[in-house]
Chain A
């Protein structure tokens, strides 16, 4: 197989990133490492939502529900009995769950499968609905899931949530998962099935007329997306080590939607870049909410400013550059080269060469 220049660049970049990963794990302080790993988790979550919205054209707002299912199932399977007893102090846990403990990877996969199963159950009836009705129905289901979790005291410990989860979501765990999910998405979108999904997005009726079983494609997309979201939720839970129903509100879905829109629906690299960018920015802008000590005056914290900024960003992108950062295309080294060339041209226009001639 001939290795083109672009291929070589990509391999070099990958190796460089792997080295960076090892260094980060050893040298970043706890806080920075946590933000770094959060980026990976948001990459996973953004890709799972993009699969639905950007690639299959299904506007679903129920993502946080699937994350919750994945997080809770995984948590319940990884917590040793003593930890469960400590947590369930109000009402004891249901007996058969008490002594059920599994190693991380099976628990993670089961969390994903549980979310996928819920996705399948919800998808079958709901995917027949049109755009906005689909959005509201999925939002509704996500809220129902949250209410159920809050009330199922003996299974989920209700509003108290689960604390002290084993910290299984290490740097390598989350970034390798992110890598696998990205690889999966890339392979899927290059395949005939990914093509069929895009056709369903572009024109459902025409796709059906060309022999694509549109309903089956939609349900499959929904189920796979839910699986990945469940895995993402489980990783999130095992990184933060606490989960409770209040974590999985619509705000969480909104944050992921924000990332997908900013990065560009229908672009895998867009989601990856935006996930990393937004996660870092969210942390960096946290100072906006805190009291600021500027040289001449103090301001009290301006809580809400951070989210104002992000909401504004979302709206500006959606109104003026609907295709998002990547414009629906994937990142390629050629893009960088073209961008570099364009910048060089711009530079030459601003500063003409010696002799006064513009080249």
Chain B
């Protein structure tokens, strides 16, 4: 393999990793606060991409306006999802809320098939992002460069919110101990909504950027990335934002490089993530950066 090809793969891996990271953060934040695996998160990612698409296609908005519209709609949707499907089950056994999450996921996917049609839709990539830039013998699409940059900016903002604001402190309190936080007059419901809003916002960004890089939409496009990103979050340490980012990048890099270096195994590509997941769960369930949680007897 030439250096040029290798660098191309690296660029690819970084942008895929960024996308995975953006989605994984949503999973990890929700799990940190509610101990819930939000199965429907991947579908929120899909919704973001579709709303942006319809913003441009139906409403003839410029792409940046569609982006903002999509972000807003998706965040609100995420908040609504929590209120309808998860909040009523807060005090129920964990299994019930998981079933609700799975049901919500299928509901959203099939509603999407119903409303948007099952056939893939082509996305019009904004001219600026679709341009190919050459560095010597390495040619990279602009969007591949923009994605990691964007991700880091978003990440920086998120980390600032979590560590430097009162809301962020409340978030960290709730994810450590819900009861204690409630006793300290933290508006737990509000914080949960806020968390879902941010997670969905990031997923929407991920969905839109994804659709610029792989410009084909279909209602089930969130399924596999959703699952993989959850795995990434677990590998990095569920409940830890840093872990989600780390896991996302790791997964993206492993995926691209394995297929590049061992093309005969590409059929098994999807299985890798699962194998990795199971290994992590068995060997170090708290993931690379996670913390232990003990149960009181």
- A–B: direct contact at CB < 8 Å: yes
Q: Which residues of A contact B (CB under 8 A)?
A: 53, 57, 59, 125-126, 129, 131-133, 135-137, 140-141, 143-144, 147-148, 150-151, 205, 254, 257, 261, 265, 302-308, 310-312, 314-315, 318-319, 322
Q: For the complex, would chain B's binding face be called helix, strand, loop or mixed by DSSP majority? A: helix
| Residue pair A132, B271 in contact (C-beta under 8 Å) | no
| Residue pair B278, A137 in contact (C-beta under 8 Å) | yes
13 additional contacts (CB under 8 A) given A136-B277, A302-B114, A311-B110: A129-B285, A132-B37, A133-B281, A144-B274, A147-B270, A151-B267, A151-B268, A205-B297, A254-B106, A303-B118, A308-B107, A311-B103, A311-B107
- Among B89, B110, B278, the residue within 8 A (CB) of A308 is B110
- Among A59, A125, A133, A308, the residue within 8 A (CB) of B95 is A59
Chain A residue nearest to B114 in the complex (CB): A304
Q: Which residues of B contact A140 (CB under 8 A)?
A: 231, 274-275, 277-278
Q: Which residues of B contact A318 (CB under 8 A)?
A: 89, 96, 99-100, 103
Chain B residue nearest to A205 in the complex (CB): B297
CB B27 to nearest CB in A, in angstroms, measures 11
* B234 on the A face (CB < 8 A): yes
- Among B85, B89, B113, the residue within 8 A (CB) of A304 is B113
Q: Which residues of B contact A126 (CB under 8 A)?
A: 278, 281-282
Known: A147-B268, A304-B110. A137 touches B281 (CB 8 A): yes
Chain B residue nearest to A132 in the complex (CB): B37
- Among B89, B114, B278, the residue within 8 A (CB) of A303 is B114
| Residue pair A144, B275 in contact (C-beta under 8 Å) | yes
Chain B residue nearest to A249 in the complex (CB): B223
Chain B residue nearest to A61 in the complex (CB): B102
- Among B114, B271, B277, the residue within 8 A (CB) of A305 is B114
Q: How many A-B contacts are there with CB distance less than 8 Å?
A: 113
Q: Which residues of B contact A308 (CB under 8 A)?
A: 107, 110-111, 114
* B104 on the A face (CB < 8 A): yes
Between-chain CB contacts (< 8 Å), 22 pairs: A59-B95, A126-B281, A131-B94, A132-B94, A140-B231, A140-B277, A143-B270, A144-B274, A147-B267, A254-B102, A265-B95, A305-B110, A306-B110, A307-B113, A308-B107, A311-B104, A312-B107, A314-B99, A315-B100, A318-B100, A318-B103, A319-B100
Docked Cα-Cα span, A205 to B110, in Å, equals 40
Q: Which residues of B contact A306 (CB under 8 A)?
A: 110
Docked Cα-Cα span, A254 to B109, in Å, equals 14
The B109-154 residues at the A interface (CB cut-off 8 A) are 109-114, 118
Q: Which residues of B contact A312 (CB under 8 A)?
A: 107
Q: Which residues of B contact A141 (CB under 8 A)?
A: 274, 278
Which 5 residue pairs of A and B lie closest in terms of their CB atoms, listed nearest first? A304-B113, A311-B107, A140-B274, A147-B271, A307-B110
Contact with A along B77-113 (1 / 0, CB 8 A): 0000000010011001011101110111011011111
Chain B residue nearest to A138 in the complex (CB): B278
| Residue pair B271, A144 in contact (C-beta under 8 Å) | yes
Chain A residue nearest to B297 in the complex (CB): A205
| Residue pair A148, B271 in contact (C-beta under 8 Å) | yes
CB A313 to nearest CB in B, in angstroms, measures 9
Chain A residue nearest to B108 in the complex (CB): A311
Chain B residue nearest to A131 in the complex (CB): B94
Docked Cα-Cα span, A206 to B100, in Å, equals 28
Q: Which residues of B contact A254 (CB under 8 A)?
A: 102, 106
Q: Which residues of B contact A (CB under 8 A)?
A: 35-37, 85, 88-89, 92, 94-96, 98-100, 102-104, 106-107, 109-114, 118, 219, 230-231, 234, 267-268, 270-271, 274-275, 277-278, 281-282, 285, 297
CB A158 to nearest CB in B, in angstroms, measures 9
| Residue pair A257, B267 in contact (C-beta under 8 Å) | no
Q: Which residues of A contact B267 (CB under 8 A)?
A: 147, 150-151
Q: Which residues of A contact B114 (CB under 8 A)?
A: 302-305, 308
Q: Which residues of A contact B35 (CB under 8 A)?
A: 132
Task: Among B35, B95, B118, find the residue whose CB has the most chain A CB atoms closer than 10 A.
Answer: B95
Chain A residue nearest to B116 in the complex (CB): A304
| Residue pair A315, B85 in contact (C-beta under 8 Å) | yes
CB A24 to nearest CB in B, in angstroms, measures 32
| Residue pair B98, A319 in contact (C-beta under 8 Å) | no
Docked Cα-Cα span, A304 to B111, in Å, equals 7
Chain B residue nearest to A153 in the complex (CB): B267
Q: Which residues of A contact B94 (CB under 8 A)?
A: 59, 131-132
| Residue pair B297, A319 in contact (C-beta under 8 Å) | no
CB B275 to nearest CB in A, in angstroms, measures 6
Docked Cα-Cα span, A314 to B98, in Å, equals 12
Docked Cα-Cα span, A125 to B230, in Å, equals 21
Chain A residue nearest to B282 in the complex (CB): A125
Docked Cα-Cα span, A99 to B72, in Å, equals 62
CB A291 to nearest CB in B, in angstroms, measures 14
Docked Cα-Cα span, A305 to B111, in Å, equals 7
- Among A57, A129, A150, the residue within 8 A (CB) of B281 is A129
Chain B residue nearest to A302 in the complex (CB): B114
| Residue pair B103, A314 in contact (C-beta under 8 Å) | yes
Q: Which residues of B contact A151 (CB under 8 A)?
A: 267-268
- Among B98, B104, B113, the residue within 8 A (CB) of A315 is B104
